[in-house]
């Protein structure tokens, strides 16, 4: 009998806000097909990875958002090396961009239910291959700094909700077009190399890179993310905020922006060097860098589609 190893992130927003404990839900759905572990730290995820490897788990199923997914893949890749089992994403976080990129519909419970039914009926479980990016031994699907990370920091500061996110997007566009001062547009200062090619800027609005097309809210700026198996789509934007805001529909629709200060490349590495510490994001989680950072192509991951 094939087994699904479920990893529940008890720190995810969904479970923190819920009045109902998640414990027992997945066990009831999966019965003998699932083994469920509850975690509150990265160290606990690493322990679960070692346990699941010893058990010969067939699928791993993180329950949380993109941040949970990136931590689970990072810890499991360290333990499993080149034998990482297919990943069943049980959507349960603020951001579910990776699951949405493969059109994985439904909530965590319905996704697991569909998978169990398919397994028990002897149906083949479909998988979709996606690359990751590697940053300081961490694996992720989306990277950004400057405007990208500043936007997320502001959003998290006002409180995560769909309504507040929509409001922040519209306010940001208004401020950009009105040329109002905003901390969102302070940008990033430093040297940037894409596959050893130096970018012609010492200051940019921000960098965005990814191995999936969408960044959420219906925006698809990384439309070349899967153009090459060994590269990822990278955007280096040095446009003025107002100029970028005028192109918001192209960002949403996944269309090229033809502007001298908007560089799009499909690359295997980005090197960033700054004289100042800066903030960046991996899959929605925020990190601080003291000055130098390298983003490179990471491991391939098989994502389950049901």
**Series of mean pLDDT values for 10-residue runs along the chain (306 residues):** 91 67 85 94 95 96 92 96 94 85 93 94 92 96 97 88 86 86 89 97 96 94 96 98 95 95 98 96 96 97 96
Q: What pLDDT is attached to residue 144?
A: 98
Query: Which single residue is written with the structure tokens 């009105």?
Result: 178
- Cβ contact 301:87 at 8 Å: yes
Report the alpha-carbon distance of residue 214 to residue 233 in Å, rounded. Answer: 11
Give whole-number Cα distances, 202 to 5, 13, 44, 275, in Å.
46, 37, 41, 11
| Cα torsion through 29, 31, 35, 36, rounded to 10 | 40
Report the alpha-carbon distance of residue 112 to residue 115 in Å, rounded. Answer: 5
The tokens for 300 are 């391939």
In the DSSP assignment, the letter for residue 229 is: T
User: Exposed (0-12), middle (13-18) or buried (19+): which is 62, by Cβ within 10 Å?
Assistant: buried
Report the alpha-carbon distance of residue 133 to residue 297 in Å, rounded. Answer: 5
Q: What pLDDT is attached to residue 267?
A: 98
Fold of 4-124: Rossmann fold (3.40.50)
Looking at the chain, which residues constitute the CATH 3.40.50.10330 domain(s)? Answer: 4-124
Q: What pLDDT is attached to residue 23?
A: 79
Q: What pLDDT is attached to residue 17?
A: 63
Query: Which single residue is written with the structure tokens 């899967």?
Result: 226
The tokens for 109 are 């419970």
In the DSSP assignment, the letter for residue 199 is: P
Q: What pLDDT is attached to residue 16?
A: 63
Q: What is the CATH number of domain 142-299?
A: 2.60.200.40
Q: What pLDDT is attached to residue 22?
A: 73
Looking at the chain, which residues constitute the CATH 2.60.200.40 domain(s)? Answer: 142-299
Helices 162-177 and 147-158, packing angle to 10 deg: 130
Nearest to 222 by CA among 135, 138, 143, 136: 143
């Amino acid at each position: 009998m094939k087994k699904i190893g479920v990893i529940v992130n008890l720190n995810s927003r969904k479970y923190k806000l819920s009045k109902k404990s998640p414990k027992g839900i997945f066990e009831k759905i999966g019965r003998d097909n699932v083994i469920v572990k509850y975690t509150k730290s990265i160290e606990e995820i690493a322990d679960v990875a070692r346990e699941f490897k010893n058990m010969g788990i067939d699928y791993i199923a993180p329950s949380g958002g993109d941040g949970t997914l990136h931590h689970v893949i990072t810890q499991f890749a360290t333990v499993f090396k080149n034998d990482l089992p297919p990943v069943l994403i049980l959507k349960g976080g603020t951001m579910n961009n990776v699951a949405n990129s493969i059109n994985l519909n439904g909530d965590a419970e319905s996704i697991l239910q569909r998978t169990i039914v398919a397994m028990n009926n002897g149906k083949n479980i479909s998988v979709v291959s996606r690359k990751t990016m590697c940053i300081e031994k961490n694996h992720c699907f989306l990277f950004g700094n400057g405007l990208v990370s500043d936007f997320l920091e502001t959003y998290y500061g006002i409180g995560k909700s769909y309504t507040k996110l929509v409001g922040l997007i519209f306010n940001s566009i208004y401020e950009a077009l009105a040329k109002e001062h905003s901390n969102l547009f302070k940008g990033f200062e430093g040297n940037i190399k894409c596959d050893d090619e130096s970018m012609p800027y010492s200051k940019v609005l921000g960098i965005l890179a990814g191995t999936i097309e969408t960044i959420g809210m219906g925006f698809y700026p990384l439309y070349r993310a899967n153009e090459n198996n060994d590269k990822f789509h990278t955007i280096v934007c040095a446009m003025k905020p107002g100029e970028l805001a005028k192109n918001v529909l192209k960002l949403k629709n996944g269309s090229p922006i033809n502007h001298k200060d908007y560089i799009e490349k499909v690359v295997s590495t980005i090197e960033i060097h700054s004289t100042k510490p800066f903030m960046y994001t991996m899959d929605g989680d925020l990190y601080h860098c003291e000055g130098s950072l390298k983003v490179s192509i990471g491991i391939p991951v098989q994502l389950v589609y049901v």
